[in-house]
């Protein structure tokens, strides 16, 4: 690489670093109640009792630009930091978040079972999380078919369903509320604004009643609103059935993926690219 090329690369990397740093700071927290399932390290003002979160502290989750989709379909953009219980949870499962909505300066707390989708624009890529069993499960692959790790692998826990678009549409049609921006101006917290308490009750019956063991992956079909569990035992048959629905994928390619369990993410990515 030439000296000019090295300088350009250095400037680009510095720009990314400075942009990330600009998202960070010490912010007042609105709506947080101490929760052992999702601890947030805070400082508390002794005079006012206000809580503050400082994302500049080494090891603390950082804020990234992104958005959330509420259970009734409203998109809220801002800066988002995600949290979990690092002792009890997998790294790919988050339990709560702080979001600083656009044009706001305070960090609003949102707990589990509260929003359908979270997107963060991290350094190298957009990262998505979907509501699943009260927490937020990171996607490995996005698209018509969505792939995630199964947080209950090697247990006999029942498989639950993700929140479908039809559910969101139904909630939108049956939920009358102000927009988040209007509610925040009225002094409500974000959790109050999106009526989390009322919407949680609607989620109780989403789960499917299928007992399985040795689970590894969850494959969600957005169009059919169905979830397929995939293990080493059923992988070969399951992946051939899924990929076989795509006329643009030849038999040799499908069989190649079927022989390699660790290529499941590549298989689903290619399916989404070729079978739109």
What are the residue boundaries of the structural domains of the chain, listed by start? Answer: 24-218, 232-276
For the chain, percent of residues with pLDDT exceeding 70: 84
pLDDT in tens, 215-266: 589 999 999 999 999 999 999 999 999 999 999 999 999 999 999 999 999 9
pLDDT in tens, 131-140: 998 889 999 9
Question: What value does the mean pLDDT take over residues 67-81?
Answer: 94
List of long-range contacts for 54-63, beta carbons under 8 Å, 24+ apart: 54/25, 54/26, 54/27, 55/23, 55/24, 55/25, 55/26, 55/27, 55/81, 56/24, 56/25, 56/26, 62/20, 62/23, 62/24, 63/23, 63/24, 63/98, 63/100
Task: Tell whether the model's pLDDT for residue 8 goes beyond 50.
Answer: no
Question: What value does the mean pLDDT take over residues 141-155?
Answer: 90
Confidence of residue 83 (pLDDT cuts 50, 70, 90): very high
More confident residue, 178 or 199: 178
More confident residue, 185 or 31: 31
């Amino acid at each position: 690489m030439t000296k000019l090329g090295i300088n350009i690369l250095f400037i680009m990397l510095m720009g990314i670093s400075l942009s990330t740093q600009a998202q960070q700071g010490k912010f007042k927290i609105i709506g947080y109640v101490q929760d052992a399932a999702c601890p947030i390290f805070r400082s508390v003002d002794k005079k006012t009792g206000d809580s503050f979160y400082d994302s500049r502290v080494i090891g603390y989750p950082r804020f990234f630009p992104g958005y959330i989709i509420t259970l009734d379909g409203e998109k809220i953009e801002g800066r988002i930091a995600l949290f979990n219980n690092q002792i009890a949870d997998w790294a790919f499962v988050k339990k709560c978040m702080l979001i600083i909505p656009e044009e706001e300066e305070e960090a609003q707390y949102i707990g589990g079972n509260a929003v359908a989708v979270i997107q963060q624009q991290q350094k190298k890529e957009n990262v998505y999380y979907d509501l699943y069993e009260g927490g937020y499960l990171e996607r490995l692959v996005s698209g018509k078919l969505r792939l995630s790790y199964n947080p209950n692998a090697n247990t006999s826990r029942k498989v639950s369903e993700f929140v479908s678009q039809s559910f969101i549409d139904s909630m939108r049609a049956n939920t009358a509320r102000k927009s988040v921006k209007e509610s925040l101006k009225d002094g409500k917290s974000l959790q109050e604004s999106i009526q989390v308490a009322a919407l949680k009750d609607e989620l109780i019956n989403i789960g499917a009643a299928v007992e399985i063991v040795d689970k590894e992956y969850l494959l969600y079909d957005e169009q059919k609103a169905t979830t397929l569990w995939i293990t080493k035992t059923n992988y070969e048959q399951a992946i051939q059935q899924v990929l076989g629905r795509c006329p643009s994928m030849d038999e040799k390619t499908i069989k190649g993926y079927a022989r390699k369990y660790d290529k499941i993410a590549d298989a689903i990515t290619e399916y989404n690219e070729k079978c739109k």
